[in-house]
């Protein structure tokens, strides 16, 4: 009976002295006793002594984020100084606690320190760029470039994250840095105007290039047309020349034939051919009536018939 009473007293005393509590998933609780760290409670059922211990922290061990105060009206902080102008931005830093003990006891107000370090780092990095460039490249900013405060170089691997002071400082606080999300930038009016002017200048250059190309094509076409015209004229002149040469050759052959067969002098033969040509032209025009009684016409016709039967035109090469 005595042992039963003692057991009940001990059990009741333990239940009064000890407090049980659930620790949610992705959380760790840090417990101190008599002012010093005592133990860490992981997800599941945790306990501590009611009057002799304290719950110092409940630390979320999953991914979490903080909004950085980069000049937004509702977040405080100054504007970001870019190369060309100062402006406010939306930037969020993501991190994860891997050691709840370091985050609770080694670092005083760890969340504020994380915000301050991330704020200083991203400001230094963004200060390497023009505002417009940040808006274009923001999705390409690897954490390695930001942590090392080095400007992104296309085609090159980012600096090693673990070698940066940014990374090593966070690790000493029990924090693993994950990434930055860079959002919209409030573009100052002066920057907007500069962008508009650059865009207009690029458009003007493109239009001018097109106009130059069109002008060159027109000039080339005109040159081709001129060359074609010259070629046609040359062919025409060559044809006329060759035709005249053929006529001259035929005339010379007929004169020579008349001289050999009819005993005519060169001058008489030429005159006869000219006369015959005129008579043929008049006959073709229908303005002269040929008859049996026309002795001149009969002689010309007979002579022409004799010439045509006894002579052949020279070959045309």
CATH number at residue 128: 3.30.479.30
Is 271 in the same domain as 316?
A: yes
Tell me the residue range of the domain where 30 lies: 2-58
- Between 69 and 10, the more confident residue is 69
Could you tell me which residues come within 8 angstroms of residue 272 by beta carbon, excluding any fewer than 6 positions away?
258, 264, 303
> How many domains, the chain?
3
Mean pLDDT of the region 254-268:
76
pTM over 0.95: no
Is 145 in the same domain as 177?
A: yes
In the predicted model, what is the mean pLDDT of the chain? 77
Is 100 in the same domain as 110?
A: yes
Tens of pLDDT, residue by residue over 110-151, are: 999 999 999 999 999 999 999 888 888 888 899 999 999 999
Tens of pLDDT, residue by residue over 84-93, are: 888 888 899 9
Question: By mean pLDDT, which of 15-24, 59-68, 264-273, 286-295 is the weakest?
Answer: 286-295
Is 12 in the same domain as 117?
A: no
d(CA 35, CA 54): 8
Write down which residue in 120, 152, 187 finishes a domain.
187
Is 204 in the same domain as 153?
A: no
Q: Is 274 left (phi over 0), alpha (psi -120 to 50) or beta?
A: alpha
pLDDT confidence of 74, banded at 50, 70, 90?
A: low
Query: How buried is residue 225: exposed, middle or buried, by Cβ count under 10 Å (0-12/13-18/19+)?
Result: exposed
Q: What is the helix (H) or strand (E) element at residue 233, kind and residue range?
A: helix 189-262
Is 280 in the same domain as 181?
A: no
**Closest of 128, 124, 134 to residue 184, by C-alpha:** 134
């Amino acid at each position: 009976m005595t042992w039963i009473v003692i057991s009940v007293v001990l059990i009741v005393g333990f239940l009064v002295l000890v407090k049980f509590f659930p620790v949610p998933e992705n959380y760790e609780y840090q417990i101190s006793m008599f002012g010093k760290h005592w133990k860490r409670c992981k997800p599941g059922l945790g306990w501590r002594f009611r009057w002799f211990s304290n719950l110092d922290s409940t630390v979320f061990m999953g991914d979490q984020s903080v909004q950085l105060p980069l000049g937004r009206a509702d977040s405080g902080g100054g504007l970001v100084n870019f190369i060309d102008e100062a402006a406010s931005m939306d930037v969020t830093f993501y991190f994860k606690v891997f050691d709840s003990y370091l985050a609770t006891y080694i670092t005083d107000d760890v969340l504020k320190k994380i915000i301050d370090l991330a704020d200083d780092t991203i400001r230094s990095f963004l200060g390497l760029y023009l505002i417009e460039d940040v808006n274009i490249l923001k999705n390409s900013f690897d954490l390695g470039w930001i942590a090392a405060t080095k400007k992104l170089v296309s085609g090159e691997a980012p600096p090693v994250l673990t070698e940066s002071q940014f990374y090593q400082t966070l690790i000493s606080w029990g924090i693993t840095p994950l990434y930055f999300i860079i959002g919209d930038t409030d573009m100052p009016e002066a920057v907007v105007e500069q962008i508009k002017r650059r865009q207009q200048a690029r458009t003007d250059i493109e239009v001018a290039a097109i106009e130059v190309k069109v002008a060159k094509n027109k000039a080339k076409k005109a040159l081709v047309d001129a060359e074609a015209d010259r070629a046609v004229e040359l062919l025409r002149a060559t044809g006329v020349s060759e035709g005249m040469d053929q006529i001259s050759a035929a005339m010379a052959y007929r004169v020579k034939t008349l001289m050999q067969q009819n005993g005519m002098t060169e001058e008489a033969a030429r005159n006869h051919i000219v006369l015959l040509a005129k008579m043929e032209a008049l006959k073709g025009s229908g303005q002269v009536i040929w008859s049996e009684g026309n002795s001149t016409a009969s002689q010309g016709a007979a002579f022409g018939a004799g010439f045509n039967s006894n002579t052949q035109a020279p070959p045309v090469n």
